Structure 1
Amino acid sequence: MLELRPNCECCDRNLPPESKEAMICTFECTFCADCVDTVLSGVCPNCGGDFVQRPIRPAALLAKYPASTKRVLKAEGCAPVRAA
């Protein structure tokens, strides 16, 4: 089950469970759509994968399966992945 992380790892923008701005990679690294487009050029800086819009968990299931409250932020900041 997806963690539904609460923030963008790059800019720390809040991304609540119902956000259509939340983007994830295959490892659930979570970024906002703005950072994915303008900073990361669509490539995850952690794993090199691409992004998709994070699914929205139905509100009725959030009570039983709550979103994560653990904030993840890249300490070294966000930088685009450079091609080798």
Structure 2
Amino acid sequence: MVALELRPNCELCDKDLPPDSPEARICSYECTYCADCVETVLFDVCPTCGGNFVPRPVRPLRSWRPDLKLGREFRPPSDKRVHSKYERADIDAHVARIRGIAPEER
């Protein structure tokens, strides 16, 4: 079983997004942004893949099924901060180009 990376920050504004943050949003490739950036800058368009975002799941603090070892004590979130490789102007152009297309049609 592969666990989500649970990146610790918004890749655009660098806001901290701890593993239990209800503000974290991810695309299908685990690009991670805060809800504010997704709603007001990215308009639900991933600047990398062009997909949409969903709320990131919260990893349980502990393993509720000890035989599976799935809690944070066994599978800690990443501490490596990630930043988008694209400049803001490029992100804005990319978002403007495809934001009017429904996610399932992008």
Same fold per TM (> 0.5)? yes
User: Aligned partners of 2:85 and 2:57: how far apart in 1?
Assistant: 26
Q: Which structure 1 residue ranges, 4+ long, deviate > 3 Å from structure 2?
A: 75-78
Equivalent position SS for 2:25 = strand
Percent identity between the two aligned chains: 56
| Range with greater deviation from structure 2 (73-82 or 9-18) | 73-82
User: Aligned partners of 2:61 and 2:36: how far apart in 1?
Assistant: 25
Instruction: Give the root-mean-square deviation of aligned CA atoms.
Output: 1.3
| Range with greater deviation from structure 2 (27-36 or 72-81) | 72-81
Equivalent position SS for 1:45 = coil
Corresponding residue for residue 83 of structure 1: 97
Corresponding residue for residue 51 of structure 2: 49
Corresponding residue for residue 77 of structure 2: 67
User: Aligned partners of 1:82 and 1:34: how far apart in 2?
Assistant: 17
User: Aligned partners of 1:31 and 1:68: how far apart in 2?
Assistant: 15
Equivalent position SS for 1:67 = coil
Give the C-alpha shift of residue 73 in structure 1.
1.0
Q: Work out which of the two has the higher radius of gyration on C-alpha atoms and give 1 or 2.
A: 2
Could you say if the C-alpha distance between residues 71 and 42 of structure 1 is closer, same or farther in structure 2, counting changes exceeding 3 Å? Answer: same
Which consecutive residues of structure 1, in runs of 5 or more, have no partner in the other structure? none
Corresponding residue for residue 35 of structure 1: 37
The answer to which structure, 1 or 2, has the higher relative contact order (CA under 8 A, 6+ apart) is 1
User: Aligned partners of 2:55 and 2:12: how far apart in 1?
Assistant: 16
Give the number of aligned pairs: 84
